[in-house]
Amino acid sequence: MIEVRNLTKTYFVSKRERKKNKMKNEYVRAVENVSFSVRPGEIYALLGPNGAGKTTTLRCMSTLIKPSSGEIIIDGFDVQNDSESVRENISFLTNELKLDEHFSADYTMKFFGGLRNMLPEQIDLRKNYLFDIFGIEGFKNKQISDFSTGMKQKLGIAVSLLNDPEVIIFDEPTNGLDILTAKTVTDYLLDMKEQGKTIIISTHVMRVAEKLSDRIGILIGGHLIIEGTLKEILEKTETETLDDAFFALYEKFGDDNG
């Protein structure tokens, strides 16, 4: 269970950054007053254009960054006050997370298992299972630097799922993957949903949201404009397709972004 209540995140921009990127404001309000919840056994998709605040919202959930105000409760743990327990219970994945390419896939799993305080037997069990699903078994003793880009991403996913978490948070889960790898990942997510896990993904691709998710929240300019099942959204916006619904909403709300 994920509960987001009145989440606001403001980034302060240093003078140097402002000069470099020719920005006027001292701060960027990336997310403002966003509330929603994700229930066990469902996949929730945060849909929005570039810069809408999707990554920011998910990063606040992951405890990597702190909310400026509002709260996020994950399986009963507050991301601010109980960040270690939150991380204990989630799997967070984005493209920006990288693994040290000096090590082998095998050692990498052992290392992250160790950081998760797992017993060696537990690590081995989980490692074999994930290597099998993602087709890493044959490469496990190779250095990661010798992996293809797709293999590296799959290993990254395996590392993030090591702890068999109840809550899965994926930022752009299929971004940059070829269709075969993307299918492995989406199949896995659907499988996890069947097992009753709580799953949230972000995407700017309508088709991914349509195919994968049970409910969709549309984020524009840091505001959650609308949320519901695909059917509910189409009804509320009086449109036929998610694309049309999105354009209609963007026309109405897209200008007041910060």
Partner 1 sequence: MDRRLLVVIKKELMRVFTDRRLVFTALLLPGLSIAVIYSIMGMVIGNMDDERAIHMYEIETYNVPSSYISYMDESPYDKINMHEMVDISQLEESKMRLTNESIDMVLVFDENFDQKMSDYRINEIPNIDTYFNPINEYSQDARNYIVNGILQDYKVAIVGERLGDIKFTQVFSIDIDNSEISVASEEKLAGTVISRILPILISIFLFAGAMGIGIDMVAGEKERGTMATILLTPVKRETVALGKLISLAIVAIFSTISSILGILLSFPFSSKLFGQGLNIDKISFPPQYILLLLIALLILVGIYVGLIILVSVISRSVKEAGTYISPIYMVVLISAILAVMGNGEMNYMKYLIPIYGNTIIIQNIFSLDINMMYFLINSFVSILVITGLVLIIRKMFYNEKFMFK
Ligand X SMILES: Nc1ncnc2c1ncn2[C@@H]1O[C@H](COP(=O)(O)OP(=O)(O)OP(=O)(O)O)[C@@H](O)[C@H]1O
- Shortest distance in whole angstroms from residue 65 CB to ligand X: 8
Distance CA 129, CA 161 (A): 11
Partner interacting with residue 103 (select from ligand X, Mg ion, partner 1, none; CB below 5-8 Å by kind): partner 1
Q: Is 231 in the site for partner 1 (CB under 8 A)?
A: no
The residue number with the shortest CB distance to Mg ion is 55
175 binds, among ligand X, Mg ion, partner 1, none (CB under 5 to 8 A by kind): none
Q: Is 170 in the site for partner 1 (CB under 8 A)?
A: no
Q: How far is the CB of 114 from partner 1 (least distance, A)?
A: 4
CA distances for 239 relative to 208, 231, 250, angstroms = 19, 10, 13
Given the complex with partner 1, which of 92 and 246 has the nearer CB atom? 92
Binding test (CB under 8 A) with partner 1, winner from 29, 87, 127, 154: 87
The verdict on 116 binding partner 1 (CB under 8 A) reads yes
Q: Which residues partner with 220 through β-bridges? A: 223
At residue 101, φ and ψ (nearest 5 deg) are: -75, -5
Shortest distance in whole angstroms from residue 116 CB to partner 1: 5
Q: What's the CA gap between 111 and 82, in Å, rounded?
A: 23
- CA angle (119, 90, 5) in 5-degree steps: 150
d(CA 182, CA 180): 5
